[in-house]
C-alpha cells in the first residue's frame, strides 16, 4: 500500500507540477507524463527479469524499496528549490499562455529522480504481488480458495492507498508545498520497508524445480531464448518421417494448444534431423515458449485500453481545472483528487465482484472463478469504451458552455459547469479497471510458466504501459497534424483550455477502443488456456 501511496502521490498531480512550477505547455506536459507513466509500466519487464533470473522476488523488493526512497528524496529536494516554488507561466496579450522553463540543473535533478522512481516501480510492482501469491500453498484446498481472491483484495488495498493519496497529497501539493507533498511518500516507503523486513522469517520462499531428467534447469529466459534460436537454425531441417509426423501433430505435448506455432517444434531436432538427447530443447522448454507466444495477441489487443487509461491523470485532470470545483463557499477540491473516484469505484466494484458476481456466476457456469479470465478482461475493455465516450460528450458540452458565455479568450476563467460532470468517465474507468487491470494480472500470472510468473505480471503491466507511451506519441502526432487546421492555428490540445478540440481527440479514442474490443473478442475466442 505504501508504494502505491508514494507512486500515485507523484503521478496524480504531475501534470499540474509540470505546467506550473516547471513551466511546460499543456501538450508537452501531457506527453512527458504519458512517457514517464509508460516507461514506469514497461520497467516491470526489467524488474521481473532481475527477479526471475538473479535476485529472486524477496531481494528485488528490498532493492526496489531503497531506490524508491532515494528517488522520492531527490524529488522532494528538487521541489524545495526556491525558483520552483512559483509558476513560470504568464498570460500574454493574445490570451495564450507563455511558460518559461525551469533552470536546467533543477530540471535535470527532477527528471533524474522521476525516472529513478520509474525504475523502482518496475522492480517492485511485478514482485510484490507475485511474492504475495507465493505465500499460498497450492496443495491446500482452503488456501487455494483464498488465492483465487488474492488479486482482487490486493488491488482493493492498493486502491485504498491511492484514494488516500488523492485526498491528502494532492491537497498538500496544491495548497501547502510541493516539497512536502513529495517528501511524505518518501517517509511512507521507509516505514513500509522496515515493516516488510520484520516479516522475513515468516515468508515462504519457493526454490527452482529440477527438470524431468533430474538436471538443474538453466535460467528461464535463456531456456526460452534457446528454443527460438534452435527453431530458427533448424527451420530447413527435415527429421525422419516418424518424428516429423509426431512434430506436426504435436504428439507428446502436454496440451492441445501444442499444435499451434508448430515451427517451434523444430527446436526438438538437432542439425542432422535427429532428436539426440542433450543437443535439442526439451518438450517442456518448447511448451514454455509457445505459452508466451499465445499471449501476444491478447496483449496487443489491450494496448488501446492503456491509451484510454492514461487520460485520467492528464487530459481528464486538465478538464477539471477549468470547471467549478468549490464544494463550499471556501473549500475547493483539487482537480487531481477527482481520480479518487476511480479508486473508490474500484474498491466498491471489487467487493461486489468477489462477493456477489463471482458466486452468482459460479452457480450458473459451474466455473470456480465464475467467468473466465478473458471474459473478465473483455468486459473491462467495453467499459473503457463507455468511459472515453462519456469524456467526449462532456468535453463537447464544456466547449459549448465556453462559447455560450464568451470565455474563449479568457484562459484563467472558470467555466460555469460543475466538475461533477466528469464523474461518469472516472466511475466508468474504475469499473473497467476492476475487470481489465485485475483480470490481466490474474491471466498473465496464471498462463505463464511457473518460473516466469513475475514476468507474467510484468507483461500485464506493460500492456497498459506501452498504451501510455502510444498516447504520448499520439498526442505529439495530433499536435503536429492539427496545429494549422483552424483559422486561429489552434491544435486539438491547446495551451489555452478554452480553445482547441480535446473532444475530437476523445472521439478518436472512441474509435480506437471499439476496434480494440473487436480485435480482443476475435483473439480471445481462439485462445487455448494453459493446462487445459
What DSSP line would sit under 129-165, residue for residue?
HHHHHTTS-TT-HHHHHHHHHHHHHHHHHHHHHHHHH
C-alpha separations of 278 from 106, 149, 245, 246 in Å: 57, 42, 22, 19
Distance CA 459, CA 452 (A): 10
Where do the H-state alpha helices sit in 209-327? Answer: 220-233, 241-249, 283-300, 303-310, 315-321
Angle 26-168-130 (CA atoms, 0-180°, nearest 5)?
90
Work out the end-to-end distance of the chain between its first and last CA atoms, rounded to an integer number of angstroms.
35
User: Could you tell me the fold of the domain covering 2-203+289-525?
Assistant: Growth Hormone; Chain: A; (1.20.1250)
Cβ pair 515, 509 in contact under 8 A: no
Distance CA 435, CA 377 (A): 5
The residues with which 326 forms a beta bridge, in sequence order, are: 332
Residue keyed to cell 473508490: 344
Distance CA 100, CA 118 (A): 26
The cell numbers describing 526, all together, are: 481462439
Q: Among candidates 306, 337, 320, 342, which has minimal Cα distance to 427?
A: 342
User: Using one digit for the tens of pLDDT, what is the confidence trace for 374-400?
Assistant: 999 999 999 999 999 999 999 999 999
CB-neighbour burial class of residue 216 (10 A; exposed 0-12, middle 13-18, buried 19+)? exposed
Cβ neighbours for 203, distance < 8 A, ≥ 6 positions apart: 58, 131, 135
Query: How many other C-beta atoms can be found within 10 angstroms of the C-beta atom of residue 476?
Result: 16
Q: Among candidates 529, 500, 356, which has minimal Cα distance to 26?
A: 500
Distance CA 152, CA 353 (A): 9
User: Using one digit for the tens of pLDDT, what is the confidence trace for 2-51?
Assistant: 888 888 888 877 888 888 777 777 778 877 887 888 788 778 888 888 88
Enumerate the domain spans of the chain: 2-203+289-525, 220-288
Distance CA 245, CA 420 (A): 64
The cell numbers describing 397, all together, are: 458540452
Residue 207 has what pLDDT? 56
Residue 88 has what pLDDT? 52
The cell numbers describing 163, all together, are: 484514494
Distance CA 34, CA 473 (A): 9
If DSSP codes are grouped into helix, strand and coil, which group holds residue 83?
helix
The cell numbers describing 97, all together, are: 499562455
| E strand intervals along 312-434 | 323-324, 415-418
Helix, strand, coil percentages for the chain (3-state, nearest 5): 70, 5, 25
Q: What are phi and psi of 89, to 5 degrees?
A: -105, 140
Residue 532 has what pLDDT? 58
Distance CA 318, CA 320 (A): 5
Cβ pair 89, 97 in contact under 8 A: yes
The cell numbers describing 286, all together, are: 518448447
Residue 84 has what pLDDT? 44
Cβ neighbours for 232, distance < 8 A, ≥ 6 positions apart: none
User: What is the β-pairing status of strands 415-418 and 323-324?
Assistant: parallel
Residue 208 has what pLDDT? 47
Distance CA 300, CA 292 (A): 13
Distance CA 217, CA 433 (A): 37
Cβ pair 27, 96 in contact under 8 A: no
Cβ pair 93, 26 in contact under 8 A: no
Distance CA 347, CA 160 (A): 7
Cβ pair 153, 326 in contact under 8 A: no
Residues of the chain falling short of pLDDT 70: 81-103, 137-148, 206-220, 237-259, 271-279, 484-489, 531-532
Amino acid at each position: 500500500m505504501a508504494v502505491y501511496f508514494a507512486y500515485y502521490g507523484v503521478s496524480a498531480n504531475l501534470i499540474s507540477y509540470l505546467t506550473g512550477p516547471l513551466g511546460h505547455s499543456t501538450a508537452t506536459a501531457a506527453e512527458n507524463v504519458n512517457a514517464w507513466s509508460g516507461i514506469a509500466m514497461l520497467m516491470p519487464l526489467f524488474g521481473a527479469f532481475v527477479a526471475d533470473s538473479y535476485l529472486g522476488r524477496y531481494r528485488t523488493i528490498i532493492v526496489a524499496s531503497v531506490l524508491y526512497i532515494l528517488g522520492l528524496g531527490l524529488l522532494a529536494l528538487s521541489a524545495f528549490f526556491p525558483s520552483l516554488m512559483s509558476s513560470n507561466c504568464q498570460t500574454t496579450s493574445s490570451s495564450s499562455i507563455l511558460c518559461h522553463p525551469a533552470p536546467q540543473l533543477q530540471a535535470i535533478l527532477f527528471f533524474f529522480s522521476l525516472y529513478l522512481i520509474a525504475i523502482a516501480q518496475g522492480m517492485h510492482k511485478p514482485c510484490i504481488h507475485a511474492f504475495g501469491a507465493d505465500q499460498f500453498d497450492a496443495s491446500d484446498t482452503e488456501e487455494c480458495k483464498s488465492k483465487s481472491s488474492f488479486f482482487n483484495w490486493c488491488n482493493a488495498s492498493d486502491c485504498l492507498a491511492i484514494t488516500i493519496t488523492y485526498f491528502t497529497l494532492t491537497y498538500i501539493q496544491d495548497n501547502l508545498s510541493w516539497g512536502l507533498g513529495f517528501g511524505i511518500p518518501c517517509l511512507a516507503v521507509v516505514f513500509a520497508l522496515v515493516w516488510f523486513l520484520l516479516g522475513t522469517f515468516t515468508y515462504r520462499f519457493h526454490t527452482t524445480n529440477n527438470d524431468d531428467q533430474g538436471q538443474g534447469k538453466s535460467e528461464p529466459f535463456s531456456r526460452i531464448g534457446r528454443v527460438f534460436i534452435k527453431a530458427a537454425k533448424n527451420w530447413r531441417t527435415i527429421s525422419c518421417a516418424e518424428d516429423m509426423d509426431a512434430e506436426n501433430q504435436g504428439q507428446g505435448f502436454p496440451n492441445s494448444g501444442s499444435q499451434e506455432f508448430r515451427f517451434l517444434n523444430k527446436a526438438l531436432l538437432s542439425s542432422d534431423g535427429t532428436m539426440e538427447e542433450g543437443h535439442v530443447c526439451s518438450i517442456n522448454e518448447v511448451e514454455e515458449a509457445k505459452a508466451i507466444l499465445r499471449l501476444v495477441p491478447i496483449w496487443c489487443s489491450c494496448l488501446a485500453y492503456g491509451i484510454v487509461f492514461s487520460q485520467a491523470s492528464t487530459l481528464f485532470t486538465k478538464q477539471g481545472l477549468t470547471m467549478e470545483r468549490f464544494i463550499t463557499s471556501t473549500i475547493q477540491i483539487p482537480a487531481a483528487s477527482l481520480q479518487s473516484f476511480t479508486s473508490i469505484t474500484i474498491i466498491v466494484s471489487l467487493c461486489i465482484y468477489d462477493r456477489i458476481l463471482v458466486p452468482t456466476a459460479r452457480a450458473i457456469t459451474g466455473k470456480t472463478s465464475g467467468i473466465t479470465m478473458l471474459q473478465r478482461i473483455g468486459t473491462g475493455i467495453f467499459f473503457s469504451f463507455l468511459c472515453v465516450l462519456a469524456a467526449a460528450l462532456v468535453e463537447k458540452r464544456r466547449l459549448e458552455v465556453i462559447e455560450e458565455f464568451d470565455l474563449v479568450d479568457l484562459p484563467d476563467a472558470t467555466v460555469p459547469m460543475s466538475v461533477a460532470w466528469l464523474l461518469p468517465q472516472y466511475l466508468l474507468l474504475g469499473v473497467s479497471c476492476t475487470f481489465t487491470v485485475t483480470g490481466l494480472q490474474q491471466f498473465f500470472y496464471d498462463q505463464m510458466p511457473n518460473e516466469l510468473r513475475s514476468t507474467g505480471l510484468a507483461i500485464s503491466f506493460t500492456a497498459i504501459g506501452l498504451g501510455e507511451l502510444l498516447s504520448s506519441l499520439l498526442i505529439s502526432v495530433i499536435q503536429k497534424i492539427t496545429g494549422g487546421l483552424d483559422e486561429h492555428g489552434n491544435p486539438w490540445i491547446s495551451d489555452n483550455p478554452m480553445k482547441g478540440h480535446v473532444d475530437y481527440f476523445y472521439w478518436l479514442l472512441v474509435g480506437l477502443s471499439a476496434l480494440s474490443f473487436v480485435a480482443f473478442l476475435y483473439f480471445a475466442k481462439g485462445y487455448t488456456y494453459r493446462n487445459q
